[in-house]
């Protein structure tokens, strides 16, 4: 019992450093407001999103339009769409795991470019996004 208490005591500062969690609303893809002071503030980017990967594709489309990093969240996971990778993590300072490997991302970017060109540069509707894992 003492060992468990000691472990909890040692791990509690790590939990405090991880910051607030990502929004957990089911089916909502969140966009982080880059200019919000303090903890990240989120606004819904789309509702009715079926998966973390679909949310990541929507955030990547926003990144392609803006040419800057776009952060967001989906059902408790943070998503980071930057020039080097699209990744997710449980905490903003946590280990980031790639959502797409480089060949998959290249395919997603090509498809997004075609879709947005067909829409006159407009973002795709979240419902129009469907992913086939290869």
Report pLDDT for 66: 82
Could you tell me if residue 99 is inside a domain?
A: yes
Which residues sit opposite 71 in a β-bridge?
80
Between CA 24 and CA 65 the distance in angstroms is: 26
User: What residue numbers bound the domain in which 56 lies?
Assistant: 20-120
Q: Write the CB contacts of 30 (distance below 8 Å, at least 6 apart in sequence).
A: 22, 23, 42, 43, 44, 45, 55, 72, 73, 74
Report pLDDT for 1: 42
Q: From first to last of its 134 residues, what are the pLDDT tens digits of the chain?
A: 443 333 333 444 444 455 778 999 999 999 998 766 555 689 999 999 999 999 999 999 999 988 789 999 999 999 999 999 999 999 988 999 999 999 999 999 999 999 889 988 888 777 666 655 54
Could you tell me if residue 111 is inside a domain?
A: yes
Report pLDDT for 37: 56
Query: Which residue in this structure is represented by tokens 């919000």?
Result: 36
Could you tell me if residue 93 is inside a domain?
A: yes
Could you tell me if residue 4 is inside a domain?
A: no
Between CA 100 and CA 96 the distance in angstroms is: 12
Count of structural domains within the chain: 1
Report pLDDT for 38: 52
Q: Write the CB contacts of 19 (distance below 8 Å, at least 6 apart in sequence).
A: 39, 91, 92, 93
Quick check: 28 and 46 in contact, CB under 8 A? yes
């Amino acid at each position: 019992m003492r060992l468990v208490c000691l472990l909890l005591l040692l791990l509690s500062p790590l939990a405090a450093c991880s910051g607030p969690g990502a929004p957990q609303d089911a089916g909502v893809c969140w966009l982080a407001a880059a200019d919000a002071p303090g903890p990240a503030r989120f606004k819904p980017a789309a509702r009715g999103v079926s998966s973390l990967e679909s949310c990541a594709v929507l955030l990547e489309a926003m990144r392609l339009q803006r040419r800057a990093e776009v952060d967001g969240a989906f059902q408790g996971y943070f998503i980071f769409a930057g020039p080097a990778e699209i990744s997710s993590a449980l905490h903003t300072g946590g280990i980031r795991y790639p959502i797409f490997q480089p060949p998959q991302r290249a395919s997603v970017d090509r498809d997004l470019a075609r879709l947005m060109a067909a829409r006159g540069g407009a973002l795709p509707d979240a419902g129009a996004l469907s992913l086939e894992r290869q």
